[in-house]
Amino acid sequence: MTEKNYTVLKTTIDRVVVYLDGARVFRSGKVELKKGFQQVSVTGLTKNLYKDSVRISGKGKGSLGAIDIETVYQEEVSHEVLNKLLQDEEKLQKNLQSLQKQLEFTTHQNERMKVLSSRFSEEYPQWLASGETQLATLSEFIVFETKRNDEYMKRVQKLKNDIEEVTKKLNTLQAKINEYRNQSHVEQTYEIAIAVEVSQAGPFIFELSYQTTGVSWEPSYDVDLKTDKAILKGMAQIVNRTLEDWIKVSLEISTAVFKPLRAIDPTPYYIDIYDPYRPPPAPRRSLKAKKMAPMALQEKEEAMELADYGMEPMVEPTAELVESPSGVQSFEISGKWTIPSDGNNHPVTLTTHELKSEKEFYWAASDALGVIAQDKIINGDAVILGGNAKIYADGEFIGETYINRIAPREEFKLGAREELKITAKKKLLERVKEKAGLVKGKRAVSYEYELVLSNYRKEPSQITIKDVIPYSRSERIKVKGFTANVEPVSDTLGIYTWELKVRPDAEKKIITNMK
């Protein structure tokens, strides 16, 4: 193409459809053309586009002709700029590695302390029963454990925030480096030449679209657990590395993928006698599973009192869900969006669902935390895609987890946390040692325990209780009998389970005997 033979068409990105592994970009532009044969050129398109995906349409008095797509190489980039970017990248990498090592060390220390805490909770009843310790020791341990957990949560959250900030800076820097560096050390773009036979001079509007790589999105969720419902806000974490900034575009999120899916028939699974001389088969390649986001806790942020200023909360736009007959979900988001090509996560709210839920409670004798609460949630008519989730209880952050794919109307559980309004206290009522039989050295020991459940909530609470008694695997040790004033619903290898419903401001007692 020579300059005298074509007219440059300046286009802007109007709309983007983001898929799980790419995007379709829609551009438009307006230009004045004279009568006769004309060539219109669109320059500076990303090198990540698929050439066979380009589509052109137009408006004006004329007809479209041939379309040519050419690769354009610009001048070699400045090595000084590239070297400076590489030095900055190295510094950020070292900073990130240091923060990650600090987080790993802090987590390792916490795991060691959890082992010690678990050992203490298991052995403390024996020490108390034998008179080797007092109840004051338990109180001191609880105070120490609470303080240690608070310090650990604050430390971990600060490190996570620092890691997230450095990672964002690193992603932005690496996106700039990718713009400067490629195999030939030149900047590559595409140029499209459009042949037009103009029947009457005047304005012409051209619209073009193309598929591009370098962009993806993943689902993520904020779940706020209320008394009898769960507010689930679904978001798309969009990453744009297309080398094209999207400035005030219409945005659509789709669950479709470029790569076609197909059904695969299973192959026979053979078993045979082990042959030590047969070489092992080559390992099959498999996709690496993504690491689940570790549980994290953060400090509750102070909310701005909007009422004091006479202001109303801003409305957060949500998307309109459209599901195709093939099962592909598309979310058309209202408003205009700006997503730069910087390699960072850009969250966009897709949907907000109000789902029915009910609280369940659980206590195990071996758990030092006490009564655990979690919410059983019933999904609505939409499919919940798998993704990371931040969990809140009445607006207070309590942790992170991963939600697997949830089918419509399927039940799932979230938000395991300590319930402070229900207490469970177990104490030894009696311990008796006596000689058993005529054989020297034989002893019989009997125990009587009392478990008191107290419900300080304003609603009746259903709680699952699990207690453990010794289960002998030796012929020399016999566990003769176990009785309880409340019949357990199950017994497996010495693990007894009760399902109890406790009224508000009431308590229930379970008295167990074992010998």
Residue 313 belongs to some domain of the structure: no
Task: Report the percentage of the chain scoring pLDDT > 70.
Answer: 78
CA dist list (Å): 280 to 36, 158, 274, 277:
71, 48, 11, 9
Q: What confidence tens digit (pLDDT) does each residue in 300-358 have?
A: 333 333 344 445 555 556 666 676 666 678 888 888 999 999 888 999 999 899 999 98
Residue 299 belongs to some domain of the structure: no
- The CATH number of the domain holding residue 37 is 2.60.40
How are beta strands 461-468 and 345-364 bridged, if at all? parallel
243 and 381 assigned to the same domain: yes
134 and 87 assigned to the same domain: yes
pLDDT, averaged across the chain: 81
Q: What is the largest CA-CA distance in the chain?
A: 120
Q: Which pLDDT does position 178 carry in this prediction? A: 78
242 and 95 assigned to the same domain: no
Residue 129 belongs to some domain of the structure: yes
Q: Which pLDDT does position 235 carry in this prediction? A: 93
Total of domains in the chain: 4
Q: Which pLDDT does position 308 carry in this prediction? A: 44
Residue 231 has pLDDT above 90, yes or no: yes
239 and 337 assigned to the same domain: yes
355 and 249 assigned to the same domain: yes
Q: Is 456 left (phi over 0), alpha (psi -120 to 50) or beta?
A: alpha
Q: Which pLDDT does position 441 carry in this prediction? A: 57
Residue 20 belongs to some domain of the structure: yes
Contacts of 388 (CB under 8 A, 6+ apart): 218, 220, 221, 293, 400, 401, 402, 403
Q: What is the mean pLDDT of residues 189-213?
A: 93
Residue 339 belongs to some domain of the structure: yes
Residue 67 has pLDDT above 80, yes or no: yes
154 and 168 assigned to the same domain: yes
Question: In the listed set 417, 435, 453, which residue is the last one of a domain according to the structure?
Answer: 417
Distance CA 384, CA 406 (A): 5
141 and 108 assigned to the same domain: yes
Q: Which pLDDT does position 294 carry in this prediction? A: 35
199 and 71 assigned to the same domain: yes
115 and 60 assigned to the same domain: no
Residue 295 belongs to some domain of the structure: no
34 and 173 assigned to the same domain: no
Query: Where are the strands (E) in 1-147, listed by range?
Result: 7-8, 12-19, 22-33, 36-45, 55-59, 62-76
CB 399 within 8 A of CB 296: yes
Distance CA 488, CA 496 (A): 6
Contacts of 408 (CB under 8 A, 6+ apart): 379, 380, 381, 382, 383
Residue 187 has pLDDT above 70, yes or no: yes
Residue 503 has pLDDT above 50, yes or no: yes
Residue 39 has pLDDT above 60, yes or no: yes
Domain residues for 136?
A: 79-180
Residue 57 belongs to some domain of the structure: yes
Q: What confidence tens digit (pLDDT) does each residue in 76-110 have?
A: 556 667 778 888 888 899 899 999 989 988 888 88
Question: In the listed set 417, 437, 453, which residue is the last one of a domain according to the structure?
Answer: 417
What's the sign of the alpha-carbon dihedral 76, 81, 87, 93? negative
Distance CA 19, CA 23 (A): 5
Q: Which one of 133-142, 174-183, 459-468 scores highest in mean pLDDT? A: 459-468
244 and 357 assigned to the same domain: yes
Residue 301 belongs to some domain of the structure: no
404 and 491 assigned to the same domain: no
Q: Which three-class secondary structure state does DSSP give residue 91?
A: helix
